Amino acid sequence: MCMLDTTDGALMMALYTSKAFSRDVVAILYYSIVLTGITVVVSAFIGIIQILSLVQNVAEPEGSFWDGVGAIGDNYDIIGGCICGLFLLVGVGSVLVYRPWRRRMDRKAARRAEQTLESECQSPEPRSPDPLIPEEGPRAPGYGAAGSSQLGPVIPA
């Protein structure tokens, strides 16, 4: 387990210090999420096994479920190998999936940018950049007029 944690830490450090990823923030986030996610899943699995083994040793329950828990507890070496294989499988899978996923996300972002640009070009009137300034309608007394001597309600003519 110590070797697995050390390998995980080394992979994370390599990811953060890699020149290939230093300019690609999305890649760093992607691989960080993948490594963190698999680490959380594995640690939760190991924690659950440990708790169940503790309950089995203290309460001595019987049944096929508890026989399975005992068998898992007796074969931690096999579980450790499976965890290492899982890290390898997920790591290789994430490397293979990243490029197509990234291209797809870039295309979606480009389409969204084009739609936004087209909708801005098609609007007949420019909108106020400040969402708090109403485009039409009465304003509060002195609103937006520095040094205005107008006090009281605005009366439409």
Q: Which two tokens stand for residue 64?
A: 């096929």
Is there a contact between 26 and 39 (Cβ–Cβ < 8 Å)? no
* pLDDT cut 90: percent of the chain above it: 18
Would you say residue 138 lies in a domain? no
Count the domains in the chain: 1
2, 29, 17, 11: which is closest to 88 by C-alpha? Answer: 11
Would you say residue 131 lies in a domain? no
Would you say residue 72 lies in a domain? yes
CA Rg value for the chain: 30
pLDDT recorded at residue 44 = 94
Q: What is the pLDDT of residues 50-101, one digit of tens each?
A: 999 999 989 888 889 999 988 988 888 888 888 888 988 988 898 899 889 8
30, 50, 40: which is closest to 8 by C-alpha? Answer: 40
What mean pLDDT is reported for the chain?
Answer: 78
Would you say residue 142 lies in a domain? no
What average pLDDT score do residues 45-54 get?
92
Would you say residue 137 lies in a domain? no
Would you say residue 133 lies in a domain? no
Would you say residue 130 lies in a domain? no
Tell me the residue range of the domain where 67 lies. 2-121
Is there a contact between 28 and 16 (Cβ–Cβ < 8 Å)? yes
Spatial distance between the Cα atoms of 13 and 15, rounded to a whole number of angstroms: 5
